[in-house]
Amino acid sequence: MSNAQLILIDKRNQPLKEYIVAVAASDGLNIKGVEIMASPAKGETSLLNAQVIIPPLEQHDFNLKKLVKETLKAVSVKDEIMDIDTFIERCSEDETVRAALKRSVPKLSKKIEELLKEFLDSEVIPLILERRNDALYKLKEHAQELKGKKIVCIDIEATNISTDPDADIIQLSACDGDGKELFNQLINPGYDIPENEKHNITTEMVVNEPLLAQVWDQIHDTLRDADVVLAYSTESDFMYLEKSAEKKMLRFELDYNTWLDVAELSRDLNGAIRWHSERMYWFYKTPKLTDAYEKVLGKPFPGDAHDALADAQATVDLFNAMLDKGRKSQIGEKKKPKQVKQEITNNPFAAAFANAKRS
């Protein structure tokens, strides 16, 4: 009978940092120094070692049992990912050794459970849960407020970023709240379009298309007459329109107060939490439209990610799916969680300094 067993080796020499928990919460994590060792017998050389990969905590509802199971589904041996059964097969061709290693899996699971519990006991976890609950509550409110409203979702492609005063619109597209196309217009800026990895629009594609001034009234009035205008980053799209109107002396009667930013809602519901080491506060990263879409709807992003109409329609689909999550959630005014302090740090002096800056 073999004495082989799986042992969790933890060579970390410092306590778990909160910012590491934040990374693990959204992205998962390879922890340096934490390995599974297949030991043939006490004092003998390891048969094989595997790196432990912490799965994304939030993706598995911060559930300890689920996370242990997922951890054992994906260990890393020289950058090759495999489950624990495959790892055991790689360790030895001797069936008695394999059988002994399999018998030790429950004990290994307990050790991994202890490791993961360190992450789940972190103050970062309630901070994330609070943010998600607040996002669901806000979405539930929007679902009520927007019933019967005329919704238009817009997306813009341009020659450069919106903060560039020389940037010009080269595609303007919009759909209604059900994703039905309202307009999808390529725009000739009046000069050769510079190469840009943000879109696939070329000079040849717009050479016979109208100038912005020629189609402005229809586009402007469609947006003006909407009860709510959606966009994935309203600030940049509104800026493109406002600056274009000013530069080309076009009338401008759009009210930013009627615009609703789907990117902000997505950030609160899906964004990865991170620690800003210089300013010493937590912030949430806004996910890309493609990532948010695939996470919330659970299917691949449709069409071209840099086509204005495809992006507008995907934004509406994402928005409606998030509204549905809010509508179905059990979050209510009386059930909102108690506020959790936003500043979390392992350094009490840093926390005090951060508080002083905000006071």
Q: Which tens digit of pLDDT belongs to each residue from 122-161?
A: 999 999 999 999 999 999 999 999 999 999 999 999 999 8
Q: Tell me the per-residue pLDDT of 39-66, one tens digit each, with 9 for 90 and over.
A: 997 667 899 999 999 999 999 999 999 9
Position 31 scores a pLDDT of 85
Q: Say what the pLDDT of residue 193 is.
A: 93
Q: Is residue 334's pLDDT more than 80?
A: no
Provide the b/e sequence for 241-255 (b: ≥16 CB within 10 Å).
bebbbeeeeeeeebe
pLDDT of residue 279: 86
Backbone angles phi, psi at 50, to 5 degrees: -130, 140
Given a cut of 50, is residue 178 above it in pLDDT? yes
* Confidence band for 335, pLDDT divided at 50, 70 and 90: very low
Identify the pLDDT of residue 347: 46
pLDDT of residue 305: 64
pLDDT at 342 over 60: no
Q: Alpha carbon of 145 to those of 93, 134, 139, 152, 323: distances in Å?
A: 64, 17, 10, 15, 11
Where do the domains of the chain lie? Answer: 5-119
State both tokens at 245.
């109107």
Residue 303 pLDDT level (bands cut at 50, 70, 90):
confident
pLDDT tens digits along 267-299? 999 999 999 988 889 999 999 999 999 999 999
Residue pair 227/150 in contact (Cβ under 8 Å)? The answer is yes
Which of these ranges, 236-245, 251-260, 340-349, has the smallest mean pLDDT?
A: 340-349
Each residue of 187-239: pLDDT tens digit?
999 999 988 777 889 999 999 999 999 999 999 999 999 999 999 999 999 99
Q: What pLDDT score does 333 carry?
A: 54
pLDDT value, residue 24: 97
| Amino acid 308: pLDDT | 94
**Across the chain, what does the average pLDDT equal?**
91
Torsion of CA 111, 114, 120, 124, to 10 degrees: -100
Res. 72: pLDDT tops 70: yes
Higher pLDDT: 222 or 336? It is 222
What's the pTM? 0.84
**Alpha-carbon separation of residue 195 from 156, 160, 171, 202, 286 (angstroms):** 17, 10, 15, 8, 26
Residue 80: how many CB atoms within 10 A of its CB? 11
In terms of Cβ atoms closer than 10 Å to its own Cβ (0-12, 13-18, 19+), residue 116 is buried
CB 117 within 8 A of CB 250: no
pLDDT for 181 equals 97
In this predicted structure, what is the pLDDT of residue 358?
41
Q: Please provide the DSSP assignment of 118-140 as one string.
A: HHHTSTHHHHHHHHHHHHHHHHH
